[in-house]
Amino acid sequence: MALNSWSEDILIAELEGEPLFSEDMDGLLQRLAVAARDDEILPNIIVDLKAVSTVNSSNLGSLLKLRTTLGQADQRLLICSVTDGVWTALLATGLDRVFAFSEDVTTALAMLQMDL
């Protein structure tokens, strides 16, 4: 996974398909847990899924945990570049109504910067 710090307030996570998806999400969640433990301000996160063709229940659980972690810190999660396979899973589980989405990273950055 590529993690790009766009600014002090925004982190972009470019995820890959399995098995890297699970490993990368575990690493990201651990990084946020350490930051929270050390009383650091968590960033808003953009998750770029353009390289992910499908997701499983574990992947969806990790995204929900990420959303919860950021929500508790009053930060936002935006998911972008959702492929058809991922979108199908989100629709089937009702998670299309839980997460916030944008078309691409550029749009997600604009959305976050307008809110900051």
> With contact defined as beta carbons under 8 Å apart, do 74 and 51 qualify?
no
CA distance 84 to 93: 14
Query: At 44, is the secondary structure helix, strand, or coil?
Result: strand
Which domain range does residue 85 map to?
A: 2-115
One pLDDT digit (tens) per residue for the chain, 116 residues:
688 888 889 999 999 988 899 999 999 999 999 999 999 999 999 999 999 999 999 999 999 999 999 999 999 999 999 999 999 999 999 999 999 999 999 999 999 988 75
Q: How many domains does the chain have?
A: 1
CA distance 104 to 114: 16
What's the pTM?
0.93
Terminus-to-terminus CA distance in the chain, angstroms? 26
CATH code of residue 95: 3.30.750.24
